[in-house]
Structure 1
Amino acid sequence: MNNPITKLFNVKYPIVQGGMVWVSGAKLAAAVSNSGGLGLIGAGSMKPDLLRTHIIKAQGLTNKPFGVNVPLLYPGAQEQIELALNLGVKIFFTSAGSPKKFTNFLKDKGATVVHVTSSPELAVKCADAGVDAIVAEGFEAGGHNGREEITTLTLIPQVRSAVKIPLIAAGGIASGSAIAAVLALGADGVQLGTRFLMTRESSAHDNFKKLALNALPHSTQMAMRSTVPVRLLSNQFALEIKQIENQYMGDELKTKLDEHLGKYRAMNGMLNGDVDQGELEVGQIVSLIKDIPSVEEVMKELVSDYQKTLSRLPVSL
């Protein structure tokens, strides 16, 4: 495909792998890039030394473009960005913060900048800040979500109407038919998280992947809406969070949530495999995923399904 996203990143397909914490290391990012998409290293869970290791490893695994996803809510974001720049990274996806914070700095360094948005209003702010592209992420997505609770089907056309810069759709996309749908709504490309989480190259623990394979349509839930909204795979930890949210309000709720979260919940769940007490971030589309193939197999399936979808469309209505 020859469109604004493939041109922007110099990739074969307008398919981006989400930069998921504890899941998106060098192996996954390189595999996606080698298969024609754009791989992202998820820096949110990485201290500088670990991020350095993954960037250097990815550079050894692929000669294709790849990027780094940096959530701006973490205090080490600037150090991560400067480290990645010094190692030659030229593509940055930023999220969970103001697009103004680092865009000019990164652009001055010759980098390509993409910011994640959950509303048309924020999309306009991203465009005004000078980003090269936007990821518009619907409420179906896994992990941290926007407070607006706008679904992908309604978000993409609204963002497309609001801005003219390249647009990447995310949230609830795991098939070629879904890719065709969001492109028809005005997106130029897609970002997939959960589908790539469920591959052999992802860093997600086998316990996590096996539990996700058995997910049902109602097996995810939004948690911590009053603090930092996040979509979780249902387990004992998610149930306990729900009980706390039903029992407390205001400052007391925040205190109780902070106490219960503690440290390393996400790492223990997604990376170390504690599927009872770990924080398991995953998208609503997980119930449609019933295998754990290689990244290359996923990419081939996505492209084939996309082409079949187009061939099934009526020539006229």
Structure 2
Amino acid sequence: MKKNRLTELLNIELPLIQAGMVWVSGAKLAAASSNAGCLGVIGAGSMQPDLLDYHIKKAKSLTDKPLAVNFPLLYSKIEEQIEVALKNNIQVFITSAGSPKKFTSLLKEKGKTVIHVTSTPELAKKCEDAGVDAVIVEGFEAGGHNGRDETTSLVLIPQCVEAVDIPIIAAGGFATGGSVLAGLALGAEGIQMGTRFLMTEESSAHKNYKELLAHAPHNATMLMMKNLVPVRLFKNKFYEEIKDLENNCASKDVLLQHLGKGRAKLGMLEGDLDNGELEVGQICSLIKTYPNVSDVVSEIQAEYQQARQRVLEEE
């Protein structure tokens, strides 16, 4: 994989980013990803400020490579989380689930690199206008919180390439070297993977959850709660309950009441596969093992070279 604007911007060896997922992306996963040549990302969405401080310090003790933190802007303690990252000299800030204008100016004034997550070319342009350094464009295939438009990565990437001049990082449906080649061929300069890194030894996901995903069928997930907070879920008992409520035209208040608090932690971290909220991407059905991060990245690199050679031989 060649160096490009993104690898230079982030000071990383490979144009690969490990997604900052809630309950999954702690210090151990982020450090392992950075040590493997990717950008390791801590997911602040499931952390109180003091816990985030611990994970940043722990990750920095495990690697001297670049690290990032993902900040969903919808959480109430976002200002405190940002301050924790600044005090710990994090260089790369990834923001999502909110306006790119909210913290970009502040962070840029402090010399930080800012990346925002988008699911439309219109928002990608707003991100560029707000001064972000790059955008993560997340297709419909992605796990967790998602856009409402159901635009796949195959369509979204070239739309955003046309819309902006800053580097684009493709996300949603990427887990293999072949998919990395495809994303780069469409104009992306980097690839973010979530589910692939969730399925590693170093991720914080419960072993029960990893085992469930290792045997996932091709149609294991569905985008739900589009009128509330769109999220791609694994089809378990909790999913069926949400599906029944939506089929019966449940109000937002009823959905929120059933969703409650702690559902994602219950499922993803604590391993309750029936009652927990299991957020994962469509690509889960293609991932059958959960080795260490170093082996995953080596496999992706080998697959990339094989896929590239296959294309060249066909010309």
Q: TM-score, normalised by structure 1?
A: 0.98
Correspondence 1:286 to 2:280: no
- The alignment partner of 1:101 has SS state of helix
Residue number in structure 1 paired with 2:81: 80
Measured on the aligned residues, the alpha-carbon RMSD in Å equals: 0.9
Residue number in structure 2 paired with 1:311: 309
* The one of 268, 271, 275 aligned to 1:270: 268
Correspondence 1:232 to 2:233: yes
Residue number in structure 1 paired with 2:182: 181
AA aligned opposite 1:282: V
Distance in 2, matches of 1:148 and 1:115, equals: 18
Residue number in structure 2 paired with 1:147: 148
- The alignment partner of 1:255 has SS state of helix
Residue number in structure 2 paired with 1:103: 104
* The one of 295, 298, 302 aligned to 2:296: 298
Residue number in structure 1 paired with 2:57: 56
How much has 1:316 moved relative to structure 2?
Answer: 6.9
AA aligned opposite 1:265: R
Gapped regions of structure 1 (runs ≥ 5) = none
AA aligned opposite 2:294: E
* Cα offsets for 1:203-236 (capped at 9, x unmatched): 0000110111111111101110111000011100
Correspondence 1:156 to 2:154: no
- The alignment partner of 1:104 has SS state of helix
* Cα offsets for 1:230-273 (capped at 9, x unmatched): 00111000000000001124xxx111111111110000100010
How much has 1:315 moved relative to structure 2?
Answer: 5.7
AA aligned opposite 2:310: R
* Cα offsets for 1:15-62 (capped at 9, x unmatched): 000000000000000000000000000000000110000000001000
Matches within 5 A, 1:192-207: 192-207=193-208
Structure 1 segments (4+ residues) deviating >4 Å: none
How much has 1:314 moved relative to structure 2?
Answer: 3.5
Residue number in structure 2 paired with 1:261: 259
Residue number in structure 2 paired with 1:42: 43
AA aligned opposite 1:106: L
AA aligned opposite 1:61: L
Distance in 1, matches of 2:132 and 2:40, equals: 19
AA aligned opposite 1:290: K
- The alignment partner of 1:169 has SS state of strand
* Cα offsets for 1:72-93 (capped at 9, x unmatched): 0111111101110011111100
- The alignment partner of 1:165 has SS state of coil
Correspondence 1:242 to 2:243: yes
Residue number in structure 2 paired with 1:117: 118
| % identity of equivalent residues | 60
Correspondence 1:222 to 2:223: yes
Distance in 1, matches of 2:254 and 2:126, equals: 34
Distance in 2, matches of 1:101 and 1:67, equals: 18
Distance in 1, matches of 2:289 and 2:63, equals: 25
Distance in 2, matches of 1:193 and 1:186, equals: 20
Distance in 2, matches of 1:164 and 1:304, equals: 30
Residue number in structure 1 paired with 2:137: 136
How much has 1:70 moved relative to structure 2?
Answer: 0.1
Distance in 2, matches of 1:110 and 1:75, equals: 25
Distance in 2, matches of 1:66 and 1:216, equals: 34
* Cα offsets for 1:87-129 (capped at 9, x unmatched): 1111100000000000000011111000000000000000000
Query: How many correspondences in the alignment?
Result: 314
AA aligned opposite 2:166: I
Distance in 2, matches of 1:198 and 1:315, equals: 32
* Cα offsets for 1:138-163 (capped at 9, x unmatched): 00000000112110000000000111
AA aligned opposite 2:193: L
AA aligned opposite 2:270: N
Residue number in structure 1 paired with 2:19: 18
AA aligned opposite 1:175: T
Q: TM-score, normalised by structure 2?
A: 0.98
Distance in 2, matches of 1:101 and 1:28, equals: 28
* Cα offsets for 1:147-202 (capped at 9, x unmatched): 12110000000000111101100000000000000100000010000000000000
